[in-house]
Amino acid sequence: MSLTAEFGSQAIANTHVQQWVEKMAAITQPSRIFWCDGSEAERDHLYTVAVEQGVLVRLDHEKLPGCYYHRSNSNDVARVEQCTFICTEQEEDAGPTNNWSEPKAMRAKLLAIATGSMAGRTMYVIPYLMGPPGSTLAKVGYELTDSIYVVLNMRIMTRMGEVARRELGDSPDFNRGLHCLLDVDASRRFICHFPQDNEIISVGSGYGGNVLLGKKCLALRIGSWLGRKEGWLAEHMLIMGVESPTGERTYVAAAFPSACGKTNFAMLIPPAHFAGWKIWTVGDDIAWMRPGPDGRLWAINPESGYFGVAPGTNGKTNPNAISSISRDTIFTNVALKPDGTVWWEGHDDPPPAECLDWQGRPWTPASKEKAAHPNSRFTAPMTNNPALAPEALSAEGVPISAIIFGGRRATTLPLVYQAFNWVHGVYLGATMGSETTAAAAGAVGQVRRDPMAMLPFCGYNMGRYFRHWLDIRRNLENPPQVYQVNWFRKSADGRFLWPGFGENMRVLKWIVDRCQGRAGARETPLGWVPRTCDFDLDGMPNFSAADLEQAQSINIEEWRRELLLQDELFMRLYRHLPKEMIFQRELLVSRL
Ligand code: OXD
Ligand code: MN
């Protein structure tokens, strides 16, 4: 036997894991089971195999050390919400915003699809830990997959291997995830969650959000279910530390819908004007938050990497992301240059004279189609980020002083305002709307309600989810303040009213100053807003106080329409909608 053949051959798991793996292997019938230990030798071996199999292309390791390239099937480039199910005994438990299926029938259907699907293939057993080791919030999952691409991505996105196995010990309490690639036929694509059994089955897709089961499936859909049961929150939020020139650190969590700039905001570099201020990234996509013994809300980032949108990422929009993806990164569905590097629309480099596009077709600047898919991605370890907060690695996590909700809205929503109190803040999150993006399959640019940016990710009845948010307040003596922001408001002639990117630091500074009790505000029907004197406009020659007024203006006609749109969601959720949400709406109507 050659040395490499020994990789993964030793079953290393407790008896609960072993029994389940045997059961799943009897169904899927792989020719080999590979037990991942997460070691570096194993990583090198897996990359070699993935390149041999043509799953990955090795990029130029002089220019991009440790980086690889992958193309997914062209029918499989985004999350597919219509194929995503919550399978609970009662339909009401999944609620009207989720696709529901009865668990027994769905499991039988999926296992029939999975039967024999790994014949002639390797089944990888991936132990993984979501959250820093030793954290009371951390959870162990096992993912079984026949995709080596999934293994290598899970290695970056989670704490994979021995560390998870040790954390689990002899316990049967782990998430059971089965992923079968099949022939990537869209008609046999299902991403199904069984929250009552802490189980996930995903078949027929190779796209990250559908198959890296620790991320959307466990950390959000199953996580939100567990959070309700256990008294914590699993949220689609970045977490950042804002350090002032005096060294004071304020931690903020922010929910934005997919592909609305969470990664950029989490890695923001303050403009020159903010000398001495620094942003530390704790997480860019998911927050698990629990009331601490001190009455504050404590948060961890359950992930250990970034699965970020590549197009538009460059040295101006996000220098820390550029550092993060300079090595040990997997690029998916971007363009491949002849020199063994990669390119996408909005890259720092000019368009290459020639390259292969995300589907492997020759591309030149004269081509009509984009070289990179709009939802092309990078998977990069968070330890590459020069601004990684050391607290991201600590079991305690960080205390959250402010929660920000933000949608992508061309009209109606002002740049920033603060909720009057927690219940009002929950109402702001609950009524969030946003224009759809390329992160999910379907039309782009249509406004839809996306409560707390969790519409595609809440694993149970959304009405009960709002109730859970309200109830959490009971254990918070010092609840975070809540804010709403909108970086995307436009003028009638289609111009963005706010420059965004690094300048968002100005909004953040007002928020942090409010949290620290040193910034003023003015009351409006919507909430508290900064007066011009509270908002730092220095060093912005092209942005005046009048521009700020315009970005902050309240248009009563637009708000009439907005309230009607909010009603649509409330009607859908009516059975379980907390009455507090209706009262908040009434109060807003009377204030307006
Ligand atoms: C993501 C998403 O990939 O929200 O983070 O779709
Ligand atoms: Mn996301």
Tell me, in angstroms, the distance from the centre of ligand 2 to residue 456's CA.
10
The minimum-distance atom of ligand 1 relative to the CA of 377 is: 3
Contact of 34 with 122, CB cutoff 8 Å: yes
The reply to whether 115 falls in a domain is yes
Does residue 267 sit in helix, strand or coil?
A: coil
- Does residue 60 lie in a domain region? no
Residues 146, 203, single domain; the answer is: yes
Matching residue, tokens 């009377």: 590
Asked if residue 215 and residue 240 are part of one domain, the reply reads no
Pocket mutation for ligand 1, best pick of 212, 215, 258, 301 (most atoms within 8 Å of C-beta): 258
Report d(CA 159, CA 393) in Å as an integer.
11
CA nearest ligand 1 atom 1, residue:
258
| Ligand in nearest proximity to the CA of 377 | 1
DSSP 525-583: SSSEE--GGGS--TT-TT--HHHHHHHH---HHHHHHHHHHHHHHHHHTGGG--HHHHH
| pLDDT on residue 1 | 35
Q: Closest-lying ligand to the alpha carbon of 378?
A: 1
* CA 303 to ligand 2 center in whole angstroms: 12
Please indicate whether residue 307, judged by its CB atom, sits closer than 6 Å to ligand 1.
yes
CA of 454 relative to ligand 2 center, distance in Å = 9
Residue-wise pLDDT for 444-466, tens only, equals 777 889 999 999 999 999 999 99
- Confirm whether 35 is domain-assigned: yes
Q: Which residue, of 230, 248, 277, is where some domain finishes?
A: 230
Q: Give the per-residue pLDDT at 260.
A: 86
Q: What does the DSSP assignment read for 221-259? A: IIHHHHHHHHT-EEESEEEEEEE-TT--EEEEEEE--TT
State yes or no: is 260 an active-site residue: yes
From the CB of 290, is ligand 1 less than 6 Å away? no
Residue 412 near residue 321, CB atoms below 8 Å = no
Which protein residue has the closest C-alpha to ligand 1 atom 3?
209
Residues 277 and 146 in one domain: no
pLDDT at 2: 40
Overall number of domains in the chain: 2
Assess if residue 315 is contained within a domain.
no
439 C-beta closer than 6 A to ligand 1: yes
Query: Using CA atoms, how far apart are residues 242 and 509, in angstroms rounded to an integer?
Result: 8
Same domain, 118 and 259: no
Ligand 1 pocket member 328 (CB < 6 A): no
Give the pairing of strands 433-435 and 447-449: antiparallel
List alpha helices for 61-212, DSSP H. 91-94, 103-114, 148-157, 162-168, 208-211
Closest ligand to the CA of 237: 2
Whether residue 152 is contained in a domain is answered as yes
242 pairs with which residues across the strands?
250, 279
> For position 12, what pLDDT does the model report?
80
* 68 in any annotated domain: no
Whichever domain contains 204, its CATH number is 3.40.449.10
Q: Which residue has the tokens 């109730």?
A: 467
CA pair distance 340, 284, nearest whole angstrom: 28
Q: What's 514's domain CATH number?
A: 3.90.228.20
What pTM did the predictor assign? 0.96
Structural domain range at position 282: 235-301+391-591
Same domain, 119 and 222: yes
533 CA to middle of ligand 1, Å? Answer: 37
Does residue 241 sit within a domain? yes
* Element containing residue 479 per DSSP (H, E): none
Indicate if 35 and 98 belong to the same structural domain: yes
The atom number, within ligand 1, closest to the CA of 262 reads 5
Q: Please say which residue of 180, 201, 230 terminates a domain.
A: 230
Chain Cα centroid distance, residue 43: 25
Tell me: do 455 and 402 sit in the same domain. Answer: yes
Q: Is 308 within a domain?
A: no
118 and 264 within one domain: no
CA–centroid distance, 274 to ligand 1, in Å, is 30
- Give which of 381, 392, 312, 389 is closest to 66, Cα–Cα: 381
Residues 530 and 560 in one domain: yes
Last residue in a domain, options 175, 205, 230? 230
Distance 285 CA to ligand 2 centre (A): 5
209 C-beta closer than 6 A to ligand 1: yes
The answer on 246 and 222 residing in a single domain is no
Closest CA to 141 of 7, 20, 45: 20
Q: State which of 72, 77, 79, 205 you would mutate to test the pocket of ligand 1, scoring each by most atoms of that ligand within 8 A of its C-beta.
A: 79
Atom of ligand 1 nearest to the CA of 440: 6
The stretches in the chain having pLDDT less than 50 are 1-4
Q: Is the CB of 79 under 6 A from ligand 1?
A: yes
Are residues 459 and 500 part of one domain?
yes
Q: How far is the CA of 549 from the centre of ligand 1 (A)?
A: 33
Say yes or no: 152 and 264 in one domain. Answer: no
Question: 305: Cβ below 6 Å to ligand 1?
Answer: no
Ligand 1 atom nearest the C-alpha of 209 is 3
Q: Which of the residues 36, 67, 83, 260 is marked catalytic?
A: 260
